[in-house]
Structure 1
Amino acid sequence: MPLQYHPLSREFPQFESQMRSLLQVDGHFARLVEEYDQLDKRIYEVLGGRVAMDELQLQGLKMQRVALKDEIEALLRTGAPG
C-alpha cells in the first residue's frame, strides 16, 4: 500500500465549502487545521523513513491527529466558530 498524506480535503470532501469559509473567519479553526496538517506531514515523514521515531511516540502523534480530526469535524458539522 503506498504511503499517503491524509489531508482534510480528502477526509471531509462533503465539507469543502464549510472548510473554506471557516478558515477565513475562524482563527481557532484555522489553527486546528494548521496543527493537523503539521502532524500529518510529520507522521508521513516517519512512516516514509525520513525521520526516526519510537513506535510509541508515533502512536501518540497518530492519536493527536485523530483527536484534532474529531474536533475539526465537530466544528464543520456545526459550522460554528471554535
Structure 2
Amino acid sequence: MSNTPHDIYEDFPGDAEKIHMLKASDAHFARILEEYHEINRDVHRAETKVEPVEQLAEVEMRKKRAALKDELARMLAKA
C-alpha cells in the first residue's frame, strides 16, 4: 500500500490541458474531480495515520477513489 497521494494530474500526465478545460467547461466533470480530490485526501490521511479509520472504511474509500478515477478517465477519453 502506497502512502503517496494519487494526484489526478500525475495519473494522467498527458491530459493536464484537457483536465483544465473540462474542469472549466463541464460542471459534471468539475464535480467528479472535486469529489476525487476530497476522497483522495481522505485516503492519504487515513494511510498516513493522520486521521486513522477502520481498515474496512479505508478499503471502501480506496474503492470509491478508483471508481471516480475510472469515471474521470472515461470522460477524458471522450473529450
CA–CA distance in structure 2, aligned partners of residues 37 and 11 of structure 1: 12
Find out whether 1:50 has 2:46 as its counterpart.
Answer: no
TM-score normalised by structure 1 residue count: 0.91
The TM-score with structure 2 as length reference comes to 0.94
Residues matched between the structures, number? 79
Which residue of structure 2 aligns with residue 5 of structure 1? 5
Displacement of 1:3 in angstroms is 2.6
Which residue of 2 is the match for residue 36 of structure 1?
36
Runs of 4+ in 1 over 6 A off after TM superposition: none
> Percent identity, aligned pairs only?
27
Structure 2 unaligned runs (5+)? none
Stretches of structure 1 that go unaligned for 5 or more consecutive residues are none
Secondary structure of the residue that 1:5 maps to in structure 2?
Answer: coil
Deviation for aligned residue 1:15:
1.0
Write the letter of the residue equivalent to 2:48: G
Q: CA RMSD in A?
A: 1.4
User: Partners in 1 of 2:42 and 2:19 — Cα distance?
Assistant: 22
Higher relative contact order (CA 8 A, sep 6+): 1
